[in-house]
Copies of this chain bind each other. A is one copy, B any other.
Amino acid sequence: MPRPTKQEPERGDARTRLLEAARDVIRSKGFTATTVSDLCEAAGVTSGAFFHNFKSKEAMGVAAAEYWAETTSEFFRAAPYHAHKDPLDRVLGYIDFRGAIIDGELAEFTCLVGTMAQEVYSTHPDIRDACAASILGHAVTLESDIAAAVASRGIRADWTPASLARHTQAVLQGAFILAKATGDREVARESVDHLRRYVELLFQTAPSKRKAGR
């Protein structure tokens, strides 16, 4: 459904340029403060092109969340941490990877769908649902590695792999908020470090093997 047009036409497609502009501008200014002409200007198109591709600003927000879900899932699928043999190493590798990509400007590493969901959860239910699908869909991709780690370590957990997967997303979203409030990336990295330590402690059955991270 997010591919109304046939194959992949020429690049520089107005719709794609608008979605990329939305990804960048909304992460900086938020959805409501971002005007349609902001996006048209950033994409180099006119408002005619905008309303030709999206029936409303709200519909564009839904499409932007879906575009975000597609591009980020591809991004994480190609990430190197999947190569680890040990499932726990893959989980920790994911967390390390999330910490490593906290770099550059705030609007470059923060999460579009987390930002939008927070802002429009009560005013634009369609956008909220698309954001929830993106966040939870990403969390689900972590569950199998977590479950495999539980099995391989033989630990008895009073938590579910799904809830830990969602918790990782909560920590990241919260870390982004603190980074935005303070203007400091380091506080976000600190929280990711605490998250890594939490996962280490969860899977540390006997105090025997100690792994030096990062």
Contacts and interface: CB of A to CB of B under 8 A. Distances in A.
A83 interface: no
**Majority secondary structure of chain A interface residues (helix, strand, loop or mixed):** helix
B128 A181 contact: yes
A194 interface: yes
Contacts of A136: 181-182
Copies of the protein in its oligomer: 2
Which 3 pairs between the two chains have the least Cβ-Cβ distance? A174-B174, A170-B174, A173-B174
Nearest to A169: B178
A1 interface: no
A29 to B, nearest CB: 6
A99 interface: no
Given A32-B32, A136-B182, A201-B198, A118 B119 contact: yes
Contacts of A178: 135, 166, 169-170, 173
A187 B136 CA distance: 11
Interface string A167-208: 101111111111011110001101101100110011000110
A175 B163 CA distance: 12
A183 B171 CA distance: 18
A181 B213 contact: no
Interface string A104-125: 0011000001110111111100
Interface of A: 28-30, 32-33, 106-107, 113-115, 117-123, 128, 131-132, 135-136, 159, 163-164, 166-167, 169-178, 180-183, 187-188, 190-191, 193-194, 197-198, 201-202, 206-207, 210, 212-214
10 contacts: A28-B122, A106-B122, A119-B119, A131-B181, A135-B181, A163-B193, A167-B190, A174-B174, A174-B177, A198-B201
Contact of A174 (B30, B33, B172): B172
Contact of A32 (B33, B114, B175, B191): B33
Contacts of A123: 29-30, 33
A111 B136 CA distance: 22
